[in-house]
Amino acid sequence: MQEQISRAEIAGGAAPSGALVHEDTTAKWFLVSSVAYFFIVGIVAVVIAAKFVWPELMSTIPAMGYGRLRPLHVNGMLFGWLLAADMALTYYLIPRLCGVRLWSETLGKATAILWNAIILGAVVSLLMGWNQGLEYAELPLPLDVAVVVAWIMYGFNLFMTISQRRYPAMYVSIWYVMGTILWTAFVYLTGNFAVLFTTGVNQANLNWMYVHNAVGLIFTPVGLALAYYFIPKASNTPLYSHKLSMIGFWSLAFVYVWTGAHHMLHGPISQWLQTIAIAFSVMLLIPVWAAVYNFFATMKGQWHQLRDNVPLKFLMSGVVFYLLTCFQGPMHSLRAVNAIVSKTDWIPGHAHMAVLGAFSFFAIAGAYYMVPRVWGKQLYSDSLANWSYWMWMIGGIGFFVTLWLGGFWQGWQWNNPAIPFIDTVVALEPVWLVRFFSGILMFAGILFFSYNILATVLGEKPKPTAA
């Protein structure tokens, strides 16, 4: 098998004979910008958490109101940080899995520039209040069109790279990335364009299909692509079973798209549609357990590596959060549970465990693994990386658990018509205080991570030996 290294790893010297040298410029551009957005939007997240405790905080400034900051936080984290980081990591891993260079670094760099223009446009427009008022689809129409163009550029580049691959058989991460590209096209077009031509309940139904599949058919498959690549790489252990990974992929492909209507249980949509959503939500246990079992079986005999391998710590903690969030999802799609937790703080607790606890952990692990290699330098500080892990773990668990318990409690109160609504708001204050302090810890994780990555990129700590 041909040796593959990054251009930066040879540091001006000659590449080993027969080695495939990757430029990785696109991956670098996407990663640096995604980490910058992670930090900036992290500040917004802390301000929002503070507003729950001190609602009057900056309330006289229109751009700092909850209604404008909340969509900025959601879109910034989803598209500015996570999707951009995922794109960076797929620009890194797809050429390596295919044994060829990226089809076009020029197209990749153009995509990175366009993506940054979109995110900066989103920051301005959302702060100005230019908002379409649809969950996860708040961006103004011109920016939606730009996202489609950028996605076509990204997808075309990766599909061309895959079409020129050296190895005929495709590793499961390639399947997941291809799925992400196609499913995102389907999900994004539906959620941002088709939905504009509908009204009433049908619009709500389409919007929830988009919202749920934004997580299920965009962030889940690309997150799993990263986990399937980086867990074997970081532990230097082959995947337990490629066939099992394929079962997970195909069951996800067939099951996920039907689950969105579980957001409208007990609502004014057909009972058959609600029942289908519940049945398919429970069936999600198949792809989830197939993936999680595979990761745990891969780690058999390798758990000792977690002591000092930071990327692996993030990866395996992400797997545990993935298991928990994907057990929680099917369970709260059951009618009896949904009657209590729907629309409560339970839901953001669940969503944060998926997007931060699972998929961001996979992306963070990938960044810690990739950055020293593509910049040809040692990580600035292993100790700081470890601290970032513990800040996220402690803050994250505090955040998730508080919102589940608080959300359940909130739901019980809402189900009691004798309790005035405002009393249920006042009762949640202690929950929101813990949420705020957990948020501070998570922001410390973001700060340590961003600083570590930036210091590695700008620093002068060369790698002791070439990979």
Packing angle of the helix pair 84-98, 220-235 (nearest 10 deg): 60
**Nearest residue to 136 (alpha-carbon basis) of 197, 208, 81:** 208
- Interacting span for another protein (CB under 8 A) from 190-198, 333-341, 401-409, 444-452: 190-198
- Interacting span for another protein (CB under 8 A) from 59-67, 71-79, 236-244, 399-407: 236-244
| Cα 226 off chain centre by | 11
Nearest approach, Cβ of 254 to another protein (angstroms)? 7
- Interacting span for another protein (CB under 8 A) from 118-126, 181-189, 264-272, 344-352: 181-189
Q: At 301, is the secondary structure helix, strand, or coil?
A: coil
Question: Strands 20-22 and 4-6: what pairing?
Answer: parallel
Instruction: State both tokens at 154.
Output: 């990204």
Under the binding rule (CB under 8 A), the answer on residue 305 touching another protein is: no
What is the rounded CA–CA span in Å between residue 407 and residue 419? Answer: 16
Neighbours of 374 (CB within 10 A): 24
What is the rounded CA–CA span in Å between residue 99 and residue 162? Answer: 9
* Of 11, 124, 149, 246, the one binding another protein by CB under 8 A: 246
Total residues in contact with another protein, by rule CB under 8 A? 47
Nearest approach, Cβ of 266 to another protein (angstroms)? 22
Q: 127, 63 in Cβ contact below 8 A?
A: yes
- Quickly tell me which residue has 């099951």 as its tokens: 255
Under the binding rule (CB under 8 A), the answer on residue 243 touching another protein is: yes
> 148 vs 165, 186, 250, 459, CA distance in Å?
26, 11, 25, 36
Site string for another protein, 209-228 (x = CB under 8 A): x-------------------
Under the binding rule (CB under 8 A), the answer on residue 356 touching another protein is: no
* Of 167, 267, 339, 430, the one binding another protein by CB under 8 A: 167
* Of 60, 199, 271, 465, the one binding another protein by CB under 8 A: 199
Nearest approach, Cβ of 180 to another protein (angstroms)? 13
Q: Which residues bind another protein (CB under 8 A)?
A: 1-5, 96-97, 99, 167-173, 182-183, 186, 189-190, 194-195, 197-200, 202-203, 206, 209, 229, 232-233, 236-239, 241-243, 246, 250, 253-254, 257, 302, 467
